[in-house]
Chains A and B, each alone.
Chain A
Amino acid sequence: MNGASGRAYLRWLAPLALAVAVVVLWEVLVHVFAVPVYRLPAPSAIALALYDGHSTLLESAWHTLSLALIAFVLAVAGGILLAIAFTRSRLVEAALYPYAVVLQVTPVVAIAPLILIWVGLDNAPLAVVILAWVVAFFPVLSNMTLGLRAVDPGLRALFRLYGAGAWQELRLLRLPASLPYLLSAMKVSAGLSLVGVVVAEFVAGAGTSPGLAWRILEAGNRLQTPRMFAALVLLAAIGVALFIALSCLERRVLSRWHESRR
């Protein structure tokens, strides 16, 4: 127990210590070599920019986060439903799976203009959500399909012995059994939906989207590098927060189910 908690401690402490060291070194080097602020601002300058612009930046961060969350929720829901359809019917899977792959391997940047035309230029947030969804839903789909299929054959025989219907088997056996698969896909998918939103905002949202991506572009055009970094810090913070939230959820759910989760 002691060793395990010691290691958990280390998992937080080690990256934190590294971050502090890097920030300090960064600050020192920028001052020592007198790096121009538009090229590489010191951490203190970034903090200042974050403080000065916090009302617009936080508003943009909220905008980006909410679009990412919408895309994430839709990706999880869509991935689960499609995976269920796949396991219910090989025909549906055979028909749809190639398109899911096509959607997955086509770079979002490339389809962004098309989506934008389809939903209308004045509907940029919708286009952003659609694009982020495209990026985020595939991991859920593939992991969930795997999870729904990877059911202990003994348990399936047991369900058959008592004449369980397809719905009972899904609800009482396949869905619970695939939860570990779903939770690990959700961690990946949350990160991807954030990436998707930012990429889509870059392409689709110029001028119309008040998200963080646009703040980065805007600051870049004005050579306000500290503000660019400030927006980046916020983006990274959102990504990390999503990851931590989902890891906690995963640990909480699975610790009640499996001994093998460390």
Chain B
Amino acid sequence: MSDADRVKVPRPVARFDDVTRRFDGGLVALDRVSLSVHEGEFVSVVGPSGCGKSTLLSLLAGLTAPDAGRVWRRDARPGEVGMVFQEATLMPWADVRANVMLPLTLLGEPRGACARRADEALARVGLDGFAHARPFELSGGMRMRAAIARALVTRPRLLLLDEPFGALDEMTREAMNDQLLDLWASSGLTCVFVTHSLYEAVYLSTRVVLMSPRPGRIQAEHRVDWPYPRGEAFRADPSFTHLRSALSVRLREDAVTPEGGAGP
């Protein structure tokens, strides 16, 4: 646990109790998943493709309902949760500012205030000056940052990110990781971050959640005790490499477990 967490009693912002989610055809995307997320945490969810990470996020966001179990979220009003989808999902017909202010528009905020707050959010992700660009005029990384600005524009308490940097090159990715950490540290956000990359997960998180597929389950959780701001010192530290390879072994162990072999 980091120092900040130790001082105050962590308050939960979201909790899963034995949550099961099935899809048509009997596929069990999540099987009795229990998980708590506390205020100020940065939780990464890592696991192989198809293990139910996106499903977990959309349950957290309240976009889908569980088939069994209970999903609880402290901040349940629209605008209190921000979400960054696996693709940037910008409206191609609208400019960047209109895209970023969409959540405020939908919440019925006055127009002038919307535009101002959209510009603030754009500045926070380093996209000032692109308010009038069209999505197709942006690079992949810039589109993602616009999507993050859109998720931040309502000043959410909880930010959900679904592999936001999966399609980016390593250098851009590391820069975006640091930007995201700055945002998180400066705004008292709670983040749940889905990724394929253990490197990214360990670098960013206060806690890493490992998932296993078919059926989707939480396999292990690890705290990452390294003070923020992290930066190169952490990336170069042996404990970083050590934790990363330990988690990688856990993930791989699980991948070779025969189907149905994992008992309750």
A interface, CB within 8 angstroms of B: 152, 154-155, 157-164, 168, 172-173, 176-177, 179, 256-260
Contact = CB atoms under 8 A, between A and B. Distances in A.
A48 B131 CA distance: 58
A168 B106 contact: yes
B155 interface: no
Given A162-B79, A162-B106, A154 B85 contact: yes
A183 to B, nearest CB: 12
Given A157-B85, A172-B102, A162 B91 contact: no
A82 B170 CA distance: 50
B78 A256 contact: no
A188 to B, nearest CB: 22
Contacts of B86: 154
A164 B87 contact: no
Q: Is the interface of A mostly helix, strand, loop or mixed?
A: helix
Nearest to A162: B106
B63 interface: yes
Q: Is the interface of B mostly helix, strand, loop or mixed?
A: loop
B15 interface: no
Contact of B93 (A162, A168, A179): A179
A256 B89 contact: no
A164 B106 contact: yes
A161 B136 contact: no
Nearest to A159: B106
B104 to A, nearest CB: 9
A254 to B, nearest CB: 9
B33 interface: no
Contact of B85 (A158, A176, A257): A158
A249 B138 CA distance: 25
Nearest to A165: B106
A176 B94 CA distance: 9
A258 B136 contact: yes
Interface in B52-98: 58, 61-63, 78-79, 81, 83, 85-87, 89, 91-94
A159 B63 CA distance: 10
A164 B107 CA distance: 8
B40 interface: no
B248 interface: no
A158 B58 CA distance: 11
Given A157-B85, A158-B83, A163 B134 contact: no
Given A152-B89, A259-B136, A163 B63 contact: no
B34 interface: no
A173 B136 contact: no
Contacts of B91: 155, 173, 176-177
Contacts of A154: 85-87, 89
B105 interface: yes
A121 B80 CA distance: 65
B164 interface: no
Contacts of A163: 78, 106-107
B78 A162 contact: yes
Interface in B140-189: 154
B47 interface: no
A99 to B, nearest CB: 32
